[in-house]
Amino acid sequence: EKGGYDYFMLKEIAEQPKAVADTLLGRIDASGSLTLDEVRIPVAELREVDKVVIVACGTAFHAGLIAKYAIEHWTRIPCEVELASEFRYRDPILAARTLVVAISQSGETMDTLMALRHAREQGSKVLAICNTNGSTIPRESDAVLYTHAGPEVAVASTKAFLTQLVACYLVALYLGQVRGTKWGDEIDAVIRELAQIAGEVEQVLQTMEPVRELARSLADRNTVLFLGRHVGYPVALEGALKLKELAYMHAEGFAAGELKHGPIALIEEGVPVVVVVPSPRGRSVLHDKIVSNIQEIRARGARTIVIAEEGDEAVVPYADHLIRVPATPTLLQPLVATVPLQVFACELATARGNEVDQPRNLAKSVTVE
Ligand code: F6R
């Protein structure tokens, strides 16, 4: 059942190219236009949406944080992302023109369910992004876009996360399409890129041996820090979450721009810091800023583990370890940049003798609040 792998998690990491391809399948036609038949919210209503609110927990919340960048950039609709467990307790402002997107692998997470019930009571439409057919969250939503990751058994979410990202991009592109906003060259490039992204995830998987080696060399550490900017920030949060739950290490993700507002005080000799570097093409300001962040932490003794796209030479002098990912449009980079962090956490857990598929104190679906 583990298909020759030692753990379900390894199998599920390896299944990611297929999961991503399956989630895209049949949803973008040859002309680059999207058909999301399952999204049963009438196009006329989607055109009227003036705010998107995403609710989710854990890894699914990180997918939501990334979705915000895509939705706001491609559609110009304001988007908020909130932890489902916080959402209804702060009396959120919801209206008929608010589209609430609930992201959940299991479809049974109680906090996410309670958040969507609250949203519907206030008259908002709810679109679920879910991996489990017929589960409670899609049943109670107005519409659902299923992710096609297949069953995810390991407690730590991997392939479900990548497919949640794909589904979020599809929702963002679809909203852009029905509203006619920002439909241009950039969107066409993104759609072309999505057609290749499964192959690029596969390419990342083929180059993970040095990452595993690095992970083993860090098995006796207590702390690993993660930095990112823009969509690299939620990727940093996800890398830290994977490490906490699997390796039981103190791991924290920061927005790189926040360093000098506090976290830089944590940097001391030898502390491993993973940095997710955005593409130097396109938004090059972001790239330049993060290169100087890497210099700053390295000058203070950090051992820098840099995830950067192929051909990015500017990072080379400051990287103690360099992990290459294929070049992608900035907004899609999380699909390739997250994979080394999953492998890293899984290998560290193994090296520390932890139970990979069943980390202590955790359950696959959290059906209590
Ligand atoms: C982390 C992880 C959890 C889940 C969270 C939400 O690896 O798996 O953080 O992402 O419990 O679960 P779902 O997506 O089922 O609502």
User: Which residue's structure tokens are 């679920």?
Assistant: 128
Cβ neighbours for 127, distance < 8 A, ≥ 6 positions apart: 39, 41, 99, 100, 101, 102, 141, 142, 143, 144, 145, 171
CA 276 vs. chain centroid, Å, equals 13
244 in catalytic set: no
State the closest ligand 1 atom to the C-alpha of 160, by its place in the atom list counted from 1.
Answer: 14
Q: Whose CA is nearest to atom 10 of ligand 1?
A: 59
The per-residue pLDDT for 1 is: 86
* Closest listed residue to residue 147, CA positions, set 203, 102, 109: 102
Q: How far is the CA of 316 from the centre of ligand 1 (A)?
A: 35
Q: How far is the CA of 284 from the centre of ligand 1 (A)?
A: 33
Q: How far is the CA of 245 from the centre of ligand 1 (A)?
A: 11
Q: Which of 12, 81, 105, 242 to mutate to test the pocket of ligand 1 (most atoms within 8 A of CB)?
A: 105
Q: Whose CA is nearest to atom 16 of ligand 1?
A: 104
The rounded distance, in Å, linking the Cα atoms of 227 and 212 is: 20
DSSP designation for 34? B
Q: How far is the CA of 62 from the centre of ligand 1 (A)?
A: 10
Residue 353, phi then psi, degrees to nearest 5: 75, 20
The per-residue pLDDT for 357 is: 84
The per-residue pLDDT for 182 is: 60
The per-residue pLDDT for 157 is: 97
Tokens matching residue 89: 């307790």
Q: How far is the CA of 59 from the centre of ligand 1 (A)?
A: 5
Q: Which of 83, 109, 144, 235 to mutate to test the pocket of ligand 1 (most atoms within 8 A of CB)?
A: 109
Residue range 41-67, pLDDT digits in tens: 999 999 999 999 999 999 999 999 999
CA distances from 240 to 98, 178, 264 (A): 31, 36, 17
State the closest ligand 1 atom to the C-alpha of 58, by its place in the atom list counted from 1.
Answer: 9
Per DSSP, the three-state class of 170 is: helix
Q: Which of 12, 129, 157, 165 to mutate to test the pocket of ligand 1 (most atoms within 8 A of CB)?
A: 157
The per-residue pLDDT for 158 is: 97
State the closest ligand 1 atom to the C-alpha of 105, by its place in the atom list counted from 1.
Answer: 14
The per-residue pLDDT for 183 is: 65
For 263-291, give the DSSP string.
Answer: GGGG--TT-EEEEEPPPSSSSHHHHHHHH
* Closest listed residue to residue 337, CA positions, set 247, 234, 248: 234
Residues with CB under 6 A from ligand 1: 57-60, 104-106, 109, 112, 156-157, 241, 245, 365-366
Is the ipTM higher than 0.90? The answer is yes
State the closest ligand 1 atom to the C-alpha of 132, by its place in the atom list counted from 1.
Answer: 15
Cβ neighbours for 348, distance < 8 A, ≥ 6 positions apart: 215, 216, 218, 219, 243, 246, 247, 249
The per-residue pLDDT for 239 is: 98
State the closest ligand 1 atom to the C-alpha of 365, by its place in the atom list counted from 1.
Answer: 15
Q: How far is the CA of 57 from the centre of ligand 1 (A)?
A: 6
Which segments of the chain have a pLDDT < 50? Answer: none
